[in-house]
């Protein structure tokens, strides 16, 4: 439910973002942008004796009654916030690279490849690029403001993926 609310609010924000008098084309993104994205996710698991939450996947026997015996663990569903931050470098010619990436979440791990050139396009006030691999991830940026040179200085980000990737929303700012 929280995922749907976050996705709906992010899409609404992207739709209502005021359009600026932008120069259309790949050159509207040029330079290094710091970003932060977030989403709310859920996990099923239990707290161990040190207070750390241990997520479990699928049917975990220790969380269920077996043969009339009490379950070994008191399992529950929890909602948690995933935060990711880093830097992106746009060359103004249709190529972007992740220069850095850090993820803070219950499950951790993952992230985009660093220093690999990925094609991007800009149409009007929207930019888009796609990461492929285990999952396909589409990153859409709604460009929000521009400097005197016509370069976008801020953007709202929406990240949608296949598989177990939850929708993410966030912001990027020209450094």
Instruction: Note the pLDDT of residue 52.
Output: 83
C-alpha Rg value of the chain to the nearest Å: 20
Instruction: Note the pLDDT of residue 87.
Output: 98
Domain of 121, CATH number, reads: 2.40.128
Domain count, the chain: 1
| In a domain? residue 48 | no
Determine phi and psi for 22, rounding to 5 degrees. -95, 150
Which residues of the chain fall below pLDDT 50?
2, 5-6, 9, 11-22
| In a domain? residue 119 | yes
Provide the residue count of the chain: 175
| In a domain? residue 75 | no
| In a domain? residue 49 | no
Return the structure tokens found at 72.
């070994």
Residue in the structure block whose two tokens are 């609010």: 9
| In a domain? residue 35 | yes
| In a domain? residue 18 | yes
Q: What is the pLDDT of residues 8-48, one digit of tens each?
A: 545 444 444 444 444 568 889 999 999 999 988 778 888 88
Q: In this structure, how many other beta carbons lie within 10 angstroms of the beta carbon of residue 170? A: 19
- H helix intervals, the chain: 2-16
Domain that holds residue 28: 2-40+83-174
Q: In this structure, how many other beta carbons lie within 10 angstroms of the beta carbon of residue 144? A: 20
| In a domain? residue 53 | no
Instruction: Note the pLDDT of residue 34.
Output: 98
Determine phi and psi for 173, rounding to 5 degrees. -135, 135
| In a domain? residue 63 | no
Instruction: Note the pLDDT of residue 11.
Output: 47
pTM of the entire structure?
0.73
What's the rounded Cα separation, in Å, for the pair 25 and 90?
12
């Amino acid at each position: 439910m929280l995922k749907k609310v976050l996705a709906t609010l992010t899409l609404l924000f992207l739709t209502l973002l005021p359009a600026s008098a932008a120069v259309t084309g790949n050159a509207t993104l040029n330079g290094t942008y710091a970003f932060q994205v977030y989403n709310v996710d859920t996990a099923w698991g239990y707290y161990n004796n040190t207070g750390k939450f241990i997520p479990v996947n699928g049917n975990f026997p220790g969380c269920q009654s077996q043969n009339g015996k009490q379950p070994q663990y008191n399992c529950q569903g929890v909602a948690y916030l995933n935060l990711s931050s880093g830097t992106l470098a746009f060359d103004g010619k249709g190529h972007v690279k992740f220069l850095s990436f850090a993820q803070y979440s219950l499950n951790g791990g993952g992230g985009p490849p660093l220093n690999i050139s990925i094609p991007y396009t800009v149409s009007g006030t929207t930019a888009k690029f796609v990461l492929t691999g285990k999952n396909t991830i589409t990153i859409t940026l709604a460009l929000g403001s521009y400097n005197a040179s016509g370069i976008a200085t801020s953007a709202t980000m929406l990240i949608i993926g296949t598989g177990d990737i939850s929708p993410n929303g966030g912001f990027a700012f020209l450094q």
